[in-house]
Amino acid sequence: MGHAIPAHNVKLKRAYEPAAEEDGARILVDRLWPRGVAKVDAGLEQWARDVAPSPKLRKWFAHDPHRWREFRRRYRAELAENAGALRALRRHARDGPITLIYAAADKAHNHAVVLRRALLGRPTP
């Protein structure tokens, strides 16, 4: 696959961590703005609300690790329905490094983890 995105081109970072030069293009991938983060301090290039989980899915998941497997399945289905937004992010990642910015406290069980795998063309484990 000649258009594969190198894994190092797509990083993840919490919205509460400071921006860094190596972040490349910082893209907020949450539907809601992170509490307590000033827009001027966020250093965002884009706010990609369209790739965030639907409000219904986000509320159902409620960051419950016991729902993680089913959340990943449902979110990947939503991403498949929103292929245009996913393609746009892929194009961005091919042009250079991007960092997906998210607000969730749990770094292992959040939608940005699933979104990164989808961007890199990796199946959901």
- Residue-wise pLDDT for 70-121, tens only, equals 999 999 999 999 989 999 999 999 998 999 999 999 999 999 999 999 999 8
Is 37 part of a structural domain of the chain?
A: yes
What pTM, to 2 d.p., does this model score?
0.92
Q: Please state the rounded mean pLDDT for residues 28-38.
A: 95
**Whole-angstrom Cα distance, residue 78 to residue 23?**
26
| Other CB atoms within 10 A of residue 112 CB | 25
**In-domain check, residue 124:** no
| Domain count across the chain | 1
Structural domain boundaries, residue 77: 8-119
Q: Does some domain include residue 1?
A: no
Q: Are 10 and 116 in contact (CB under 8 A)?
A: yes
In a domain? residue 2: no
What lies within 8 Å, CB to CB, of 58 at 6+ separation is 31, 52, 111
Nearest residue to 7 via CA among 120, 122, 114:
120
